[in-house]
Amino acid sequence: MARDLSFLFPELMLASTVVLMLVAEMLRAPRLALTFGLIGLGLSTALTLPLLEADTSVFGGTYRVDLLSGWAKLILLPGTALALLMTRAEIAGKDREGSVYTLLCLVTLGALMLAGGGDMMLLVLGVVLTGLGSFAMVAWPRDDAATEAAMKYLVFGAVTGSVMIYGLTFWFGGAGSTLFPSLVRFKASR
C-alpha cells in the first residue's frame, strides 16, 4: 500500500491543500486560502515531475500513473495556479472569495482523477467532483441569472450522470468488472 500511495503524492498533496483552504475559508481568511492554494499547487507540480517516467497502475489497476496522466497534471496544476491569480483580480474583497479558490482546486482534483482513472467508478468520482465544484462556481454571483444557470446545469449534470451510471450497469454485467482492460476482454470474448 505504501508503494501505491507514493505514486499518488501529487493528488494527496492537492487534497490536503483543499482541506487547508476550507479551514482558511471557515476562518474568513481568503488571502490565506489563496496562499495555501498556490503553495499546494506548486508542491503538487513538483511532486509530479519525478513520476513522469512511471508507467504503472496502483490500487488494483483503478488508477494509472503514466505519461498521459503526468502531463495532464503538469498542465492542470500550474494552469489552476494561474487561474487563481487571475480570479483574484476579479473577486478580491468579496464575501465568498476563499470559497472560489477552494472550489477551483477541488475541480482540479476531480480533473486529475479523470486524467488518471483506470476504472470507470473512479471516472464517475472525478466527474462528480468536477461537476459539483462547477455547479457552485456558476452560482457565485448571487443574481437571478446565475442562480437559474446553476440550477439548469445541476439538473443537466444529474440527468447525464444518472444515464452514465445506468450504462455502467450494462458494462459491469457484461464484463464482470469496471476496469478499462476488462472491456477489451469482454469485446474479444463475444
Q: Which residue has the higher pLDDT, 187 or 34?
A: 34
pLDDT at 84: 96
pLDDT at 189: 57
> pLDDT tens digit string along 167-189?
888 888 888 888 888 777 666 55
Domain boundaries, the chain: 2-189
pLDDT at 32: 96
DSSP 66: S
Residue 19's contacts (CB-CB under 8 Å, 6 or more residues apart) are: none
DSSP 190: -
Q: Name the helix (H) or strand (E) containing 4.
A: helix 2-6
Quickly tell me which residue has 452514465 as its cell.
164
